[in-house]
Amino acid sequence: MDYAFDFYSVLSNTDVLIDGLLVTLELTVAANVVGLVLGFGVALLTTSSIFPVRVLSMLFVEFFRCTPAIVQIIWFFYCVPILFDVYIDSITMGIVALGLNLTAFNAEAYRASIQSVAREQMDASVALGFGPVQRTLYIILPNALRLSLPVLVTNGIGTFQQSALVALVAVQDLMYAGKSLATQTYRPIETFTAVALIYFVISFVVAQCVEFAARRYEPTSR
């Protein structure tokens, strides 16, 4: 291969990539907030004793889990304004699309954790006079968070990586910035290598920090 690598064009335009990275982080953090909160709510609905509620919530989960994220993003950006006459800025639309996708995956993680909550704890909460809301806040939620944390973190990192898809609908995230920079500098190999390394480093560091924290605060067996 007779190709001379030159990363100067990338290094001299790091401000462009940083601006894109900030948009990516904004999308990721906001989508994770949506996914963590709504995911727990949807998980509770999937375990509801009311049949229509349970079926509708399960259909929501399966729809977002069984269709490609790129299709969901494009549908939200192009179909929602046409069908519902709703026009919002592109970043907010990206947060909605990514957040709902993450909600479905987090709901499955929460649901499995909710079902594994010890029956003794639920019986004890009833004996103590806890109402449904109190049982949810003080028994179900803490246990569900603790048991599903590894999966929630994995899903969150996946959303960070999937956020690159919004570049297809002209959201100026890290991937969009990289694509623009590659076009301007005629250095696609160097540019997209730098973009890939940024995604890798952030994902790896976050995963390692969470893993360390989980080991650090894991209860010791007696």
Per-residue model confidence (pLDDT) at position 222: 41
Checking if the pLDDT of 184 tops 90, the result is yes
Model confidence at 95: pLDDT above 70? yes
CA dist., res. 164 & res. 173, Å (int): 7
φ, ψ dihedrals at 117, nearest 5°: -65, 130
Say if residues 211 and 24 touch (Cβ distance below 8 Å): no
Cα distances from 173 to residues 50, 74, 99, 101, 195, in angstroms, run: 42, 16, 16, 18, 11
User: Mind giving me the DSSP string for 103-158?
Assistant: HHHHHHHHHHHHHTS-HHHHHHHHHTT--HHHHIIIIIHHHHHHHHHHHHHHHHHH
Give this prediction's pTM: 0.90
Angstrom distances, CA of residue 17 to CA of 169, 172, 194: 18, 10, 9
Using one digit for the tens of pLDDT, what is the confidence trace for 170-180? 899 999 999 99
The CA-atom distances, in angstroms, between 24 and each of 115, 133, 143 are 34, 35, 31
pLDDT tens for 101-158 read 999 999 999 999 988 887 888 878 878 888 888 888 888 899 888 889 889 999 999 9
For the chain, count helices (H), then strands (E). 10, 0
**CA–CA dist 97, 19 (Å, integer):** 21
Query: What is the predicted pLDDT for the residue at 221?
Result: 43
Q: What is the pLDDT of residues 1-56, one digit of tens each?
A: 678 888 998 999 999 999 999 999 999 999 999 999 999 999 999 999 899 999 99
Instruction: Give the separation between CA 151 and CA 41, rounded to whole angstroms.
Output: 17
The hierarchical CATH code for the domain 23-171 is 1.10.3720.10
Q: Is the pLDDT of residue 218 over 80?
A: no
pLDDT band at 219 (very low <50, low <70, confident <90, very high): low
